[in-house]
Amino acid sequence: MRTNLLMTILLMGLLSVGFTLMTGEVYYQQTLDNRRQMFTQVIELEIHHLWDKLKDETESLALSVQSDSDFKRVTQAAEKQQVENYLDEQFHRAYVTLGVLDLKKIIIYDEKLNKLFESTNSSVVEQNGLCASPVADAKKRQGAARFKVIHQSCVFNGELRLVTLVPVGGLRLKGYLSVIVNPLINLAKGEKGLGIAVRITNEKHDELFRSVSWPAEDEMHKFMLVRYENHAGNVKPLANFYFATDVSLLKQNLFKSRIGLISFIVVSTLVAMFVALVFYRRTIICPLEKINGYMKNIRSDRRFLQDELAVSGSQELVSLANELNGLTGGLSDLYAELEVAAFTDMLTGIPNRALLFDRLKQISLLARRDQARSEFMLMMMDLNKFKSVNDELGHYIGDELLKAVSKRLKRALRNSDTVARIGGDEFSIILYAVNEKEFAVSVAEKITAFMNEVFNIDGHEIEVGISIGIARFPYDGDSSEVLMHCADMAMYHSKRNKIPYVFYDEKMNNEELTA
């Protein structure tokens, strides 16, 4: 039972540890997911802010160019070389040299969006078809809508592009100025704005930018990777932004929390096991051991049936102990009744033949050990006229006569002596610790006198005599069997010779052989 209890508690502890590990893992993943969602929202705001700022800067560049007097002069002259030289000079302005914008191309359109001039100072030749949708959208506009600025992002040769189309001429529309930039250097500023390493790829996952602080492959397990798809107004993603944030401290804190919680569960399980064992021993084991010991005592000696079992513990065991007390009490009474039935003559109420034999053996053993009480005497007796009483007056009167005889025999003896009915009209007496014939003679004469008195049984006056044979231990026999045989022979000698009582003599053996 203790093993089952320990295994149950241990299993519960293991389940608690497993549940804690699972809960910790779920909590860890949820924490990372929450942080990832938070970073995603912050990243989205930051990227939108960078795009908006870039649009403002490209629009400012376009407005700055068209407001320049030289721009008006060269465009009015419509000299291609002069216009292209002017446009190429814009690549050396502060916007570009200070890294505010990565300028790729400037294009001038007329009011009908026909291309007039374009810059030639570019490391990459921009095709006419680059981000054509702003021009196509502008051609569809009517009225005041024609004066609005258009921004369009796209991918050109695997690189990002932002096209800004700005109307020229104010309220009197004279044409459009298109500024084309690579937004990569502007978007990469998200690293400083967020303080997180960033990596940017195009829609084909070709790497466009990587922060210097981007973690190495063998250290990626310390970082949480957040991916953000930027559409920039397009249906399909224009670029993928990857941000790597260090979560090693978070993992350490979560690990410490998990270890602390597991340690608490382990300690709690051990304490629970100890408390459960103490409580279990006090309420279950000890009462059961007491009940078990009580049952062993009963099996070894039925006298323990008289003892009452008292236990404290669980209500069920206390109830069981009470039931056992009731059961053992009934068994004690039953054993007492069986003992009386086994060792008592049911007619006369005095000991029967079995009890006589038992006491005779016990006294024989005691006499051998105790020199001061090494002698005792055994009397075997038989009524002289009992058969005629049964034949003439019936068995009922005979039984009543036997009862009366038993009472008179008991009156003639000491409390330490034993009188027993052997069977029929035969009786036996053990005179304990007697070593003088005179005492046995006095008892025999007293018994003879009592038996010679008339018995009054249901109005019938009955006279019976008694024949007594006496054997001495250890002179006539040193065992209960031999001693009874000697006393029997003396009784038969007394009956044949009509002598009230006779002591055993070895000569009676010859008489028996002769008879």
Residue bearing the bigger pLDDT, 317 or 152:
152
* Mean pLDDT, residues 145-159: 86
Backbone Cα Rg of the chain: 64
Where are the chain's structural domains?
68-187, 192-246, 344-514
Range from 141-145, 191-195, 384-388 that averages highest in pLDDT: 384-388
Q: How far is residue 214's CA from residue 210's CA, in Å, rounded to a whole number? A: 7
Q: How far is residue 276's CA from residue 278's CA, in Å, rounded to a whole number? A: 5
> Alpha helices of 281-314 — where are they, by DSSP H?
286-300
- Residue 58: exposure state from Cβ atoms within 10 A (0-12, 13-18, ≥19): buried
Mean pLDDT lowest among 127-136, 192-201, 203-212, 384-393: 127-136
Mean pLDDT lowest among 49-63, 259-273, 379-393, 481-495: 259-273
Residue type, 309: L
Thinking of the domain 68-187, which architecture would CATH place it in? 2-Layer Sandwich (3.30)
For helices 286-300 and 315-343, the axis angle rounded to 10 degrees is: 10
443-492 confidence digits (pLDDT tens):
999 999 999 999 999 999 999 999 999 999 988 988 888 999 999 999 99
351-396 confidence digits (pLDDT tens):
999 999 999 988 888 877 776 667 899 999 999 989 899 989 999 9
344-514: CATH topology? Alpha-Beta Plaits (3.30.70)
* Mean pLDDT, residues 402-415: 93
The string over 346-361, giving b where at least 16 C-beta atoms fall within 10 Å of a residue's C-beta and e elsewhere, is eebebbbeebbbebbe
Which pLDDT belongs to residue 190? 83
Q: Residue 254, Cβ neighbours under 10 Å: how many?
A: 17
What share of the chain has pLDDT > 90, as a percent? 23
Q: How far is residue 117's CA from residue 109's CA, in Å, rounded to a whole number? A: 7
Q: Residue 393, Cβ neighbours under 10 Å: how many?
A: 16
What is the pairing mode between strands 175-181 and 103-110? antiparallel
Cα end-to-end span (Å), the chain: 74
87-120 confidence digits (pLDDT tens):
888 888 877 878 888 888 899 998 888 888 888 8
Read off the pTM.
0.53
Which pLDDT belongs to residue 329? 67
Which pLDDT belongs to residue 125? 46
Q: Which residues contact 250 (CB under 8 A, 6 or more apart)?
A: 31, 32, 35
How many degrees, rounded to 5, is the angle at CA 93 between CA 92 and CA 97? Answer: 70
What share of the chain has pLDDT > 70, as a percent? 92
What is the pairing mode between strands 455-457 and 460-462? antiparallel
Q: Let me know: does 362 contact 432? Beta carbons within 8 Å.
A: no
